Amino acid sequence: MAKATDDLVAWEAGWWRAARRVDSPNHGPRPDGAAVTLAIVHSISLPPGEFGGDAIERLFTNRLDWDAHPYYATIRGLEVSAHFLVRRDGTMLQFVSCERRAWHAGRSSWRGREDCNDWSVGIELEGLEGGVFEPVQYRALARLLRALRARYPIDEVVGHEHVAPGRKRDPGPGFDWPRLARALRGQRLAVAPRAIG
């Protein structure tokens, strides 16, 4: 019980001490007065369908060798980031302070509010869009969301597919939203409500 309680208060300038810090240069200031009220779940694997390795970390820190794989030519020069990455084994990395605006959602809208990057936290799960995720990833994600909820006024958790419908499809049909909702029962978090963007 002490560990869970420690997680809730283990923040320093928007960095969660339970995650390994890897600084990304791809971020900016949030607009004045923007409260962080939304968590957006994504999925990523580089190259697609391959897990492990450091390609995601390299992408988010602008160190990816664009010639290392044919797929990388399609994303050459991309400058993106997320606040967190949850690996297949549940390991957690943080790239951007939650006090800052990470570049994860792109063109997006939720409940009539544009540009979700301004008021959200982006969480990448290592996985293939539409594929299944590991049980340990759900546990790690729930732990992170509880810690975020204790620190920020986050009240909803949605997928990239919800805030950018038609443009994005992650995490996709392989992600078990009811499972996440069960893990977060009692947290006063709406989990993937019907996409009404």
| Pick from 6, 43, 13: nearest CA to 27 | 13
The tally of CA atoms less than 13 A away on the side-chain side of residue 191 is: 19
Which residues are paired to 84 by β-bridges?
Answer: 94, 123
pTM score, whole prediction: 0.94
Region 63-76: what's the mean pLDDT?
Answer: 97
pLDDT at 153 over 60: yes
Residues recognised as catalytic: 124
CATH for the stretch 2-191: 3.40.80.10
Region 66-82: what's the mean pLDDT?
Answer: 97
Average pLDDT, the chain: 94
Structure token pair of residue 169: 């499809």
Q: What is the pLDDT of residue 3?
A: 55
CA distance 41 to 63: 24
pLDDT tens digits for 139-151? 999 999 999 999 9
Q: What is the pLDDT of residue 59?
A: 98
| Cβ-contact 24, 60 below 8 angstroms | yes
| Cβ-contact 183, 138 below 8 angstroms | yes
Strands 20-21 and 109-110: unpaired
CA distance 187 to 181: 9
- Residue predicted with more confidence, 195 or 165: 165
